[in-house]
């Protein structure tokens, strides 16, 4: 009789007061001895709450099922199973663990059960990355950028696909060139985008460009999206780890082959101040390398979660051993097992050399949802229209 009363009170409280605190559920499960009542409490709770459960800065990851071991590896623990193990509630098939994150943060993760990786079966929210989908958890103050969404009510730019044969690289790559919808088709600024295929397919950068240009937030620009894959359908054809490792050949390909082609065939400015090179991770490394090495070509660079530890920290050493350059550098990084430490080193060196810098950190990880959300900030920073008073 007492057990039934406890269960009834739990259900009534959950119904009348909304979301039940997860710790209250745990306390009730520990005090309850009847397995049927425990199962009913869990079912009632899961039916009324979004999973993972987010309470202020706490995240409760939950798995329900018959298993020996369960874990929630992800960006909060470096995808480390041993650091993400869940606790099982006695007399139930409920596993959970608690982590903390900034109230404006976001984290990707998966559920690991008896050596099997899976998306969280209790969470419908997913994030697409370069290796497929992960489960996704948003904190109370997190909001996704609206600029990445396709707007059917505005004019859109067009994209040319060109198979560019490079004599310097000795191979052919697809280059996708975005042309804005604008009446001003001369002396346009140009953005050279590393990992260009994914910046379009996952980052939705063409939507961001369309929205900002159509709403008169930024001036019209040409986007040159360079795909590092010789065959986009074959991941093994990806040459980014070679080209983006501070490669002089890749830089020469840009300066001596691709830029002359673009400037011959599209209405772009030939001024270095009107060129931006951008990339994420290794693409961020080569972007900073290109700008610092050739400020006469790329006065502007944007690096998202730059992998400066790669290529034998050559970019860090280059800046440390070099001096002032008349360039404008943007760097952003996540703080969840991302490139925060090495980015801060680069920041300190650039500040010491009095190089113009915009530096930001976000409570997120090394992923495309993080990077796509910053694209509007990058475009506004470099190409935003001045507000007339």
The arrangement of secondary structure in 146-383, i.e. its CATH architecture, is 3-Layer(aba) Sandwich (3.40)
| Residue ranges matching CATH 2.60.40.10 in the chain | 2-138
Number of H helices, E strands in the chain: 13, 18
Rounded Cα–Cα distance for residues 177 and 38 (Å): 59
User: What are the tens digits of pLDDT across the range 352-386?
Assistant: 999 999 999 999 999 999 999 999 999 999 999 86
Task: Give the helix/strand (H/E) hosting 357.
Answer: strand 356-362
3-class secondary structure, 57: coil
Residue 123 pLDDT > 80: yes
Q: Which of 345, 358, 290, 299 is nearest to 325 (CA)?
A: 299
Residue 389: per-residue pLDDT: 36
Residues of the chain with CATH 3.40.50.1820: 146-383
Q: 266-294, pLDDT tens digit by residue?
A: 999 999 999 999 999 999 999 999 999 99
Given 3.30.70.20, 3.10.180.10, 2.60.40.10, 2.60.40.420, which CATH number is that of 2-138?
2.60.40.10
pLDDT digits (tens, 9 = 90+) for 138-150: 999 999 889 999 9
Is the pTM here over 0.95, yes or no? no
pLDDT digits (tens, 9 = 90+) for 174-220: 999 999 998 888 999 999 999 999 999 999 999 999 999 999 999 99
pLDDT of residue 184: 80
Supply the pLDDT for residue 385: 82
End-to-end CA distance of the chain: 73
């Amino acid at each position: 009789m007492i057990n039934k009363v406890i269960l009834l009170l739990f259900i009534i409280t959950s119904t009348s007061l909304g979301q039940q605190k997860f710790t209250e559920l745990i306390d009730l499960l520990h005090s309850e001895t009847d397995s049927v009542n425990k199962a009913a409490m869990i079912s009632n709770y899961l039916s009324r709450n979004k999973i993972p459960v987010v309470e202020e800065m706490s995240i409760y990851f939950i798995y329900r099922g018959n298993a020996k071991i369960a874990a929630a590896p992800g960006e909060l623990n470096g995808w480390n199973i041993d650091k993400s193990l869940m606790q099982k509630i006695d007399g139930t098939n409920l596993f959970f663990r608690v982590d903390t994150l900034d109230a404006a943060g976001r984290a990707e993760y998966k559920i690991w059960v008896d050596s099997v990786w899976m998306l969280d079966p209790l969470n419908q929210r997913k994030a697409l990355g370069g290796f497929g989908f992960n489960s996704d958890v948003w904190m109370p103050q997190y909001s996704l950028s609206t600029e990445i969404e396709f707007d059917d009510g505005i004019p859109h730019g067009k994209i040319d696909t060109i198979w560019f044969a490079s004599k310097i690289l000795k191979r052919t790559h697809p280059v996708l060139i975005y042309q804005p919808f604008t009446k001003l088709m001369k002396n346009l600024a140009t953005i050279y985008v590393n990992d260009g295929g994914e910046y379009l397919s996952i980052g939705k950068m063409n939507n961001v460009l369309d929205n900002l240009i159509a709403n008169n937030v930024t001036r019209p620009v040409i986007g040159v999206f360079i795909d590092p894959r010789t065959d986009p359908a074959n991941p093994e054809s990806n040459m980014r780890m070679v080209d983006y490792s501070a490669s002089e050949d890749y830089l020469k390909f840009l300066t001596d082959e691709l830029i002359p082609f673009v400037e011959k065939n599209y209405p772009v400015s030939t001024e270095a101040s009107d060129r931006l090179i951008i990339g994420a991770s290794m693409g961020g490394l080569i972007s900073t390398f290109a700008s610092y090495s050739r400020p006469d070509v790329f006065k502007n660079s944007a690096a998202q979660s730059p992998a400066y530890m790669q290529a034998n920290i050559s970019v860090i050493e280059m800046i440390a051993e070099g001096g002032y350059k008349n360039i404008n550098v943007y760097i952003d990084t996540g703080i969840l097992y991302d490139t925060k430490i090495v980015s801060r080193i680069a920041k300190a060196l650039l500040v010491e050399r009095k190089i113009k810098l915009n530096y930001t950190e976000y409570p997120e990880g090394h992923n495309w949802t993080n990077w796509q959300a910053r694209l509007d900030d990058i475009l506004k920073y470099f190409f935003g229209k001045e507000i007339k008073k």
